[in-house]
Amino acid sequence: MNVRYLAARIIDQVLKGHSLPEALTAENAALNPRDRAFLQALTYGVCRFYFQLDTIAKHLMTKPLKKKDQVIEALILVGLYQLMAMRVPPHAVLKETVAASASFKKIWAKSLVNAVLRQFLRQKETILTQIEQDPIGYYAHPAWMIEMVQAAYPTDWKNILQGNNALPPLSLRVNQRKVSRENYLKKVEGDIIPETKQGIVLKTPLDVNDLPGFLAGEVSVQDGAAQCASELLQLEPHQTVLDACAAPGGKATHILEIEPSVHLTAIDINPTRLQAIEENLKRLGLHATLFAADVLATHAWWNGELFDRILLDVPCSASGIIRRHPDIKLLRRQTDIATLAMEQARLLKGMWSLLKPGGLLLYVTCSIFPAENAQVVSAFLQTEKTASEDTILESLGVRCEVGRQILPGSINLDGFYFARLKKRM
C-alpha cells in the first residue's frame, strides 16, 4: 500500500471534520512499524503546516480544485511537505507521490500532481520569500486564530504561534511511590521539568513500550503543564476528591500518586474514554470510583456527600496543546469559543454546589484564550458570593486577572490555564 495515498486519505478525513488520531487509526492497522511511523510523521506534519502548505499550493495552481477532488489537493500537500521538511530525496518524493495519485482513479490527477511538485522545486526560493509576506502562510495558522492570539497577547503572539508549530517533547511523570525522579533519570537520558515535582522530559523520545518501568507503573506519559494541576489541589490525607471531566485519566492517577488515601471519584461522559482511566489505574496499582455519566446529571452518580477538592478540567478549544494535536487548527472554528465558554460556565456553576465549605476547586483548561479562562472565572466570582480566588503563588506562567496562564513558546510546556477557588465557610 502506498503510504502517500493513505496520508492523503487521512488529511482528507481531517478536512471533513474527523480527528487526526481517529483517521490515522482507521488507516494504519495493516502497515509495518516503519511505514506506520512514516505515515504518522507525514500526516502530523501536514496538519501542523497545513495553512502554509495550502498557501503554497494555491500559488502553484492556476485554479482551485473542486470540493469533490479535495483528496487530490491533500496529496499535493503531502508531496509539498516531504519536499520542504522531510529527508526524502526529491526524485523519490515525485515518483511515489505521483504514483499515489493513480490509486484515486482520477486520470487527470497524475499530471497535475507531477506539475505542481516540479514547479515548486523550480521556484522554491521565490515562493518561500512570498510566503513570508502572508501571515496565514508564514505562521501556518488560520486567520481567525492569528487575530485572536494577537489581540490577547500583543507582545507574545509570535512566540505562541511559533511554539504551536514546534515538535513536542516526550514528557513523563515519575511515580515517586515506586521510584524517585533522580533514580529514574539514571535509566533514561532526560532532564527534570523544574515547574513540577515529578516531571522529566526525555532528550530523545521513546516508544511507550520501551520506557523502563512503564508496565510496572513507575512512569506515565504526561506534559509538565498538565502535571501542575494535581499539585495545585493542595491534597491532604483521606479527603474526598472529584475529578469532574477525567478521561483519559492522567490527572486522576496523579492525584492518587500524590495522596493515595484520598477517596477519588472520576467522571467522564464517554464510556470508551473511561476505559483508558481503568487501564491506567490498573497499571499503576491505584483505585478510584468511576462513573460514565454527564457530571451535571448528579442523580446518576452522586451520593450526596460534598467534596473537599474538585478538579474541573473543562472541555475547551485545546488551543494550548496545538503542538501535540495540530489538527486543532483545522477542526476548531472561531464560533466554537463562545459556545465552549457557555458550557464552561455551566460546569463551573454546577460543580460549585458539590464543594464543601472551606474546600478548593481548581478550574483548568488547555486553552490560551481569555474568553475560556479568566473571563469565565471572573464572571463566576462576580455572581457567586461564596467563592473567592485562592491565589496561586507559584511562579507558574503569567498572572491573569484571575488565575495563571502558561503560554506555548514561553517555556517547554503546553499551554494551560489554572484558577483555584475557595468556598467560604
Per-residue confidence at 236, pLDDT binned at 50, 70, 90? very high
Q: Which of 245, 316, 366, 400 is catalytic?
A: 366
Query: How many angstroms separate the CA atoms of 367 and 84, rounded?
Result: 30
Tens-place pLDDT, residues 284-300: 999 999 999 999 999 99
| Cell output for 328 | 486543532
Per-residue confidence at 214, pLDDT binned at 50, 70, 90? very high
pLDDT at 29: 79
pLDDT at 394: 82
pLDDT at 409: 82
**Proportion of the chain in helix, strand, coil states, percent, rounded to 5:** 50, 15, 35
Q: Which of 179, 208, 168 is nearest to 413 (CA)?
A: 168
- Confirm whether 245 is a catalytic residue: no
CB distance 7 to 82 below 8 Å: no
Tens-place pLDDT, residues 84-102: 999 999 999 999 999 999 9
Q: What percent of the chain has pLDDT over 90?
A: 93
Question: Helix, strand or coil for residue 409?
Answer: coil
- Four-point Cα dihedral 363, 367, 371, 373, nearest 10: 20
Which residue in this structure is represented by grid cell 499503576? 284
Question: Omega before 248 cis (within 30°)?
Answer: yes
Sheet holding 219-221, edge to edge: 190-192, 199-202, 171-174, 219-221
pLDDT at 293: 95
CB distance 344 to 315 below 8 Å: yes
Residues pairing with 362 in the sheet = 311, 420
pLDDT at 410: 85
Rounded mean pLDDT, 157-161:
97
- Average pLDDT taken over every residue of the chain: 96
Query: How many angstroms separate the CA atoms of 316 and 371, rounded?
Result: 10
Per-residue confidence at 311, pLDDT binned at 50, 70, 90? very high
Q: E strand or H helix at 358, and its extent? A: strand 355-365
pLDDT at 142: 98
pTM, two decimal places: 0.95
Angle at 263 between CA 259 and CA 264, to 5 degrees: 90
Pick left, alpha or beta for residue 286 (phi over 0 → left; psi -120 to 50 → alpha; otherwise beta).
Answer: beta
Which residue in this structure is represented by grid cell 491506567? 280
Per-residue confidence at 53, pLDDT binned at 50, 70, 90? very high
State the chain's maximal CA–CA distance in angstroms: 73
CA atoms within 13 A on the CB side of 165: 20
Per-residue confidence at 28, pLDDT binned at 50, 70, 90? confident
Query: How many angstroms separate the CA atoms of 353 and 357, rounded?
Result: 10
Q: Can you point out the beta strands (E) in 111-211?
A: 171-174, 190-192, 199-202
pLDDT(46) > 90: yes
Phi, psi of 307 (to 5 degrees): -100, 145
CB distance 259 to 283 below 8 Å: no
Rounded mean pLDDT, 294-322:
97
pLDDT at 133: 94
pLDDT(61) > 90: yes
CB burial readout 312-350, b (16+ within 10 A) else e:
bbbebbbbbbbbbbbbbbbbbeeeebeebbeebbebbeb
| Cell output for 38 | 512514516
Out of 26-35, 126-135, 395-404, least confident range:
26-35
All domains in the chain, ordered by first residue: 3-134 (1.10.940.10), 169-222 (3.30.70.1170), 224-423 (3.40.50.150)
Q: At what angle do helices 70-85 and 50-60 cross, to 10 degrees?
A: 110
Amino acid sitting at position 133: Q
pLDDT at 30: 84
Query: How many angstroms separate the CA atoms of 384 and 165, rounded?
Result: 39
DSSP 87: -
Tens-place pLDDT, residues 374-419: 999 999 999 999 999 999 988 899 999 999 999 998 889 999 999 9
Tens-place pLDDT, residues 316-344: 999 999 999 999 999 999 999 999 999 99
